Amino acid sequence: MKKSPAVILADAVEILRRNGHFKGGYYDPSTDEPALSEQPVCAIGAILIAAEGWPTPEMPGVFGETTYEAIKVLARSVYSTVVDEDPIERIADWNDDADRTPGEVMQAMTRAAEEWAA
């Protein structure tokens, strides 16, 4: 059954809470976790695990339809210095901001999920 963006984002919040937050890539390759799905992840990495079970796209830059929908929903609710329309670049820029906290990422995901579901 296909998950909605709201469900994917809510699940991504729990993944961030469990795994931890990462900046600068989909996941932290320096950790000793037994599986990629258990490593600290960025916002998009958490969405990927929630939607597809793995923190990186199957092919670089290629996302499943439901994953990409959840990414677009989150991108609309975050502020980024990226001026183009690419939701992945917007989220990456926002996620990787030096001052971005894990709580802010989880809060934005929760807010985006609630707005989508309303």
Tokens of 4: 């909605």
Dig out the tokens for 101 from the structure: 């906290």
pLDDT in tens, 27-56: 887 766 567 678 899 999 999 999 998 888
**How far is it, in rounded angstroms, from Cα 107 to Cα 105?**
5
pTM above 0.85, yes or no: yes
Q: How far is CA 71 from CA 32, 53, 56, 82, in A?
A: 28, 15, 13, 15
CA dist., res. 39 & res. 20, Å (int): 7
Q: Hey, is 38 helix, strand or coil? A: helix
Instruction: Flag the least confident range among 58-62, 95-99, 112-116.
Output: 58-62
Q: For position 117, what pLDDT does the model report?
A: 80
d(CA 118, CA 113): 9
